[in-house]
């Protein structure tokens, strides 16, 4: 197995390691990470149990705010909120949202 070398360790007040930041391309190779085509159970459960859109379920799973998504998509938070609550967003809009989330369109429109 290849040893990770391109990472950053963040220490707490006591000087103990608290977090590690790794490049996304390395992260997706780790066991348990979201892989292309995979839809985590938490996303599907949120969609089914809470009745939210897949877009909202993915956004919350990835711990992003509507403001975060709006910035990633180059739109306003209000504009993003309309997209997230729309019954049937346009395909081009969903493609842009999927790219902003770092997932495929197929994972978003499941």
85-92, long-range: CB < 8 A, 24+ apart: 85/53, 89/55
Confidence at residue 1, expressed as pLDDT on a 0 to 100 scale = 45
Mean pLDDT of the chain: 87
Confidence at residue 28, expressed as pLDDT on a 0 to 100 scale = 67
Contacts of 105 (CB under 8 A, 6+ apart): 91, 94, 95, 98
Looking at the chain, how many residues does it have?
110
3-class SS of residue 42:
helix
Any idea what the Cα angle at residue 11 is, between residues 67 and 4, rounded to 5°? 85
Question: How many Cβ atoms are within 10 Å of 85's Cβ, its own excluded?
Answer: 12
Q: Where are the domains of the chain?
A: 1-33, 41-108
Query: Is the distance from CB of 39 to CB of 52 less than 8 angstroms?
Result: no
105: pLDDT confidence band, cut at 50, 70 and 90?
very high
Hey, what CATH class is 41-108 in? mainly alpha
Q: What is the pTM of this model?
A: 0.67
φ, ψ for residue 79 (rounded to 5)?
-65, -40
């Amino acid at each position: 197995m290849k040893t990770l070398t391109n990472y950053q360790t963040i220490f707490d007040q006591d000087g103990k390691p608290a977090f590690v930041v790794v490049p996304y391309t390395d992260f997706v190779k780790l066991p348990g990470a979201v892989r292309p085509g995979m839809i985590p159970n938490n996303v599907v459960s949120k969609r089914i149990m809470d009745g939210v859109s897949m877009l909202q379920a993915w956004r919350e799973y990835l711990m992003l705010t509507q403001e975060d998504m709006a910035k990633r998509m180059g739109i306003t938070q209000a504009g993003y909120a309309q997209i997230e609550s729309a019954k049937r967003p346009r395909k081009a809009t969903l493609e842009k949202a999927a790219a902003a989330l770092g997932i495929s369109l197929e994972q978003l429109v499941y």
